Amino acid sequence: MTDRADVVGDLALEGVILRGIGGKYLVSCASEGLRFAKPRGILRNEGHSPLPGDRVTLGLSGDPDVPCTIDAIGARRNQLVRPAMANLDLLVIVVSAAAPEPDLPLVDKLLCIAAASGIDAVLCIGKGDLGQERSDEIARIYRAAGFPTWTFAFPSGTPPQDLLDLLKDKTVAFAGQSGVGKSTLLNHLLGSDRMATGDVSARIGRGRHTTRHAELFPLPNGGFLADTPGFSQLELSDAGIDAQGVLEGFPEIAAIEGECRFTGCRHIGEKDCAIDARLADGAVDPGRLERYRAFRRAVDLIHSYDRPAPSSGARSRR
């Protein structure tokens, strides 16, 4: 006698979600290769939405189109909203020296989100051929702030070994504005042309999916690289970042804590704040400070709204 539980038990697979489109997920199972799966109703009913990077347990669905079910999702080490992914080890933030103009506020927001989520972050600056000076300048600023930084101009030849070493056996997402060269860089690092590049993907079988959803690609020697859709708008508050999270994205500013007159100094014009001295000696970049202050004001404003207004209890509900 064979009951269904036995069959599922025999075939239970563990895997990592590579991508999900329209409720259908592609799962990489170590020895068994790739499987399509859809979440069991109970997961959906409990509001668990699988993400690329999730560790999952598969069973059998009995549906020839989507042969597997996602029966369980492993506890997440971390989770990002944009790009929507789970269990990242490293975020590679890609920015271009020109075309599009570098969006440094976006870079800094991603650094805050990564730090607040406990994910290491590094920077890759592309399109050096379109602006060598700008590329060098951005690299100087972020290296001084403490972030590992690489520069590229039409990535070709052998990828830098130290970057490859850093990616090995990790789940790594590439994030940044649209058009900065994320997919081009990923192809370079994967040693293939798996990612469609350019403004419009004309690749058959891939279609527009690569540009709209995050997708993980297994690295030949272990680990996964994720291409993510480019984006230009990102709100720190949507990612749940508070004042502490902002500071974590600006380690060179966090480092002056203790030098200011007031503990918990925001470095926004407080008396005897040490920030001016750090600006003067070059330890803090003026652009980074300006963005820190803008982010800090924005999150402090939101958190001041969190406090219940005295009359809020009396408000009528309609």
Ligand X SMILES: Nc1nc2c(ncn2[C@@H]2O[C@H](COP(=O)(O)OP(=O)(O)O)[C@@H](O)[C@H]2O)c(=O)[nH]1
Instruction: Return residues touching Mg ion (CB under 5 A).
Output: 182-183
Please tell me whether residue 129 binds ligand X under the rule CB under 6 A: yes
Among 152, 217, 250, 295, binds ligand X (CB under 6 A): 152
- Produce one character per residue of 267-305: b if its CB has 16 or more CB atoms within 10 Å, e if not: beeeeebbbeebeeeebbbeebbebbbebbeebeeeeee
The number of C-alpha atoms within 13 Å of 71 and in the hemisphere containing its C-beta is 15
Please tell me whether residue 267 binds Zn ion under the rule CB under 5 A: yes
Which residue, 154 or 262, has its beta carbon nearer to ligand X?
154
- Nearest approach, Cβ of 122 to ligand X (angstroms)? 16
Residues 6+ apart with CB under 8 A from 18: 25, 26, 27, 28, 34, 52, 215, 216, 217, 218, 224
Please tell me whether residue 192 binds ligand X under the rule CB under 6 A: no
Comparing CA positions, the residue from 172, 184, 211, 210 lying closest to residue 80 is 172
Comparing CA positions, the residue from 7, 31, 6, 26 lying closest to residue 16 is 26
Please tell me whether residue 228 binds ligand X under the rule CB under 6 A: no
First to last CA, the chain: 59
Which residue, 271 or 318, has its beta carbon nearer to Zn ion?
271
Among 29, 66, 104, 130, binds ligand X (CB under 6 A): 130
Query: Which partner from the list Zn ion, Mg ion, ligand X, none does 232 bind, CB cut-off 5 to 8 Å by kind?
Result: none
- Nearest approach, Cβ of 32 to Mg ion (angstroms)? 29
Which stretches of the chain bind ligand X, using CB under 6 A? 126-127, 129-130, 152-154, 178-184, 197-198, 230
Which stretches of the chain bind Zn ion, using CB under 5 A? 260, 265, 267, 273
